[in-house]
A and B are shown apart, each in its own frame.
Chain A
Amino acid sequence: MDIFLQQLINGLVLGSVYALVALGYTMVYGIIELINFAHGEVTMMGALVALSVIGALALGMPGLPGVLILAAGLALAIPVCVALGLLIERVAYRPLRNAPRLAPLITAIGVSIVLQNLAMLIWGKQYISFPPVLPQGRYEILGAHITDVQIAILVLTVLIMLGLILMVQRTRLGRAMRATAQSRQVASLMGVDVNRVIASTFAIGSALAAVAGVMVSAYYGLAHYYMGFMLGLKAFSAAVLGGIGNLGGAMLGGLLLGLIESFGAGYIGDLTGGFLGSHYQDVFAFFVLIAVLVFRPSGLLGARGIERA
């Protein structure tokens, strides 16, 4: 029972991070039907920028409370990521909006290579550990452990998601986004500034990525220039699992994928009689992705079909 509960907690926390990154993919895809291949790298940049700020403050002003240091890290990471997202949209995607579909995919790949190597030049190839500024509380419930960091991740994720849903449902921008997702042409005829809406979508997605990047590095205690790749891939899987283009789907898909991975890693040894071990953890995301795309291509909550004949 305690293992079960522990995996549940771990899975939910991991899933929260996936969900936040997945939202970025799903919002962009919903609006311009493009896999923003560089989104994972934006997450990575967010994590590394925040870590630099946090490290510098922890060293330079040791008296500052940890939460404040963390907030300062986020306060710089978010604008950096937003600027990055806007730049990517402007340089790599906007000029190719009407080009063959392969072209923006290749530029997206190019941008990820650039970001990854830029990060490697700035921060080096080594793992960067998260400075010990966060509360280290650890609580026991029914034999399972949960830490302050995990609680913070869960609470913050719930708040962000509620905010995002309110934004999309209630604000002018949210309405414009939904209209653009339905049909770019019609939206622009109705007076929606489509370019602005698309840019805003990238900005919001990138801000979420910054938060997720900080979360994931706080959770594992590490950051690395290469961390964006796998994270991005998994988050994309989560978005597809939930039904790409659907915000609720990305949230659900992220949580489910976190749980699948966590339980999969916990039980795969028993299930295969010890033949496969927990280092196959990364495989689950892909199996889930393939199974979903093959058997239910529109995802769990997706209404729109992929294939419009």
Chain B
Amino acid sequence: MPEGKRPRWLVFGLLALGLALLPFLVDAGLGRSWVRLIDLALLYVMLALGLNIVVGYAGLLDLGYVAFYALGAYVYAWLASPHFGLHLPFWAALPLGAALAALFGVLLGTPTLRLRGDYLAIVTLGFGEIIRIFMNNLNAPVNITNGPQGINLIDPVRVGDMSLSQTQTLFGITFTGAHLTYYLFLLFTLALIFISMRLEDSRIGRAWVAIREDETAAAATGINTRNLKLLAFAMGATFGGLAGGLFASFQGFISPESFNLMESIMILCMIVLGGMGHIPGVIFGAVLLTLLPEALRYTGDWQRNLFGQIYIDPADLRMLLFGLALVAVMLYRPAGLMPSARRRREFADAAE
């Protein structure tokens, strides 16, 4: 299809340009705080892509996913902060965090292999809480995690002499830390999207989906379900650990509170709302759910315009609206807001 090719490249080109300019457009249009929010959204896209491997592809309902995010963040903090006096560069600390997360993915995955559905969900939820409780309390007798106070002064990512937490001027353009972080996160996000896409359309990805669809039939079709489930856990955990390390460097501070169950649930909601197992849907869900609570802050303005005063603090209202939205979407679009292409293709086939 030579004709079809040029528009495709055009689309890619425009998309690349748009992504490159995005932080400046957002900065100009919505304000600097929104640039940081976009950074956060990219972080959640990475997390959602990781959980999508476990839940969306392999069908293993994991409610403790945030544990791997936490592990990546803590490993990074241990290796690059005054807490232990270590200051490893990010290209060393980040992979180590991801690797440890992957190891834990396998360790936590092993005892749960026989469980299915809701039971797996509850056990993984338990694992997530156990990790959080340990992080909260492992400050005595040996101070490993610094307890609820968390770890402070974590090193930002440095490229050469350039710290990504400070404003830099390159080629006459001023980049704030949030802008620079955006490009770093975008790079990682694109890499994870690429990996996800390649895996989805491969022998491994098909085996995962087969397990999700019918585990017994998958085993009888020659799939070593045990190994492939563990691989899914490990891959998902790697993504999570990576995102955790990036989060720690971005925030400069981590504490157990950032890694509570609500966080796991939020990531799960992102992929379910967007469209499980469907990469564009997952990305959409992650961006939507990161930005939605912020956007709901504007309910304060609406209240003032409508009633002349603020009755309910928008910060309190937004989670309520979020919960209602979750219920509504599930009731009216159980396959998610952006269901996978194969479903759409199916509709097309049926229409023929």
Contacts and interface: CB of A to CB of B under 8 A. Distances in A.
B115 to A, nearest CB: 6
A107 interface: yes
A105 B327 contact: no
A99 B269 CA distance: 16
Counting chain B CB atoms within 10 Å of each CB, the highest count among A110, A277, A287, A293 belongs to A110
Contacts of A91: 327
Interface size grouping (class) on chain B = 35 or more
A110 B323 contact: yes
A96 B331 contact: yes
Interface in B286-330: 312, 316-317, 319-320, 322-327, 330
Contacts of B137: 276-277, 279-280
Interface string A16-39: 000000000000000001110000
Interface in A253-309: 274-277, 279-280, 282-283, 285-287, 289-290, 293-294, 297, 306-307, 309
Nearest to B134: A283
A81 to B, nearest CB: 18
Given A101-B118, A282-B129, A307-B114, A113 B326 contact: yes
Nearest to B121: A105
Nearest to B124: A290
Nearest to B120: A293
A102 B129 contact: no
B141 A107 contact: no
Given A114-B320, A283-B133, A106 B326 contact: yes
B269 A106 contact: yes
Contact of B116 (A92, A112, A113, A306): A306
Q: Is the interface of A mostly helix, strand, loop or mixed?
A: helix
A293 B331 contact: no
Interface string B90-122: 000000000000000000000110111111011
A57 interface: no
A253 to B, nearest CB: 13
B276 interface: yes
Interface stretch (A116-124, A135-143, A214-222): A116-124
B61 interface: yes
A307 B136 CA distance: 35
Contact of A286 (B114, B116, B130): B130
Contact of B276 (A102, A114, A286): A102
Interface in A205-228: none
A106 B330 contact: yes
A118 B117 contact: no
Contact of B133 (A113, A114, A275, A280): A280
A181 to B, nearest CB: 16
B13 interface: no
A294 B114 contact: yes
Interface in A61-111: 91-92, 95-96, 99-107, 109-111
Contacts of A285: 126
B116 A110 contact: no
Contacts of B269: 106, 109
Nearest to B129: A286
Counting chain A CB atoms within 10 Å of each CB, the highest count among B111, B125, B323 belongs to B323
A103 B126 contact: no
A290 B116 contact: no
A228 to B, nearest CB: 13
Nearest to B333: A103
B214 to A, nearest CB: 11
Contacts of B141: 274-275
Contact of B122 (A35, A106, A118, A309): A35
A223 B35 CA distance: 39
Contacts of A236: 122
A49 interface: no
Contacts of B322: 113
Given A110-B323, A282-B133, A293 B115 contact: yes
Given A109-B326, A112-B323, A120-B316, 14 more contacts: A96-B330, A101-B117, A102-B55, A105-B121, A110-B323, A113-B320, A114-B320, A116-B323, A283-B129, A286-B126, A287-B126, A293-B112, A293-B122, A294-B115
5 contacts: A95-B331, A96-B334, A114-B327, A290-B111, A293-B123
Interface of A: 33-35, 91-92, 95-96, 99-107, 109-114, 116-118, 120-121, 229, 233, 236-237, 240, 274-277, 279-280, 282-283, 285-287, 289-290, 293-294, 297, 306-307, 309
Nearest 5 CB-CB pairings of A with B: A113-B323, A110-B326, A286-B126, A114-B323, A110-B327
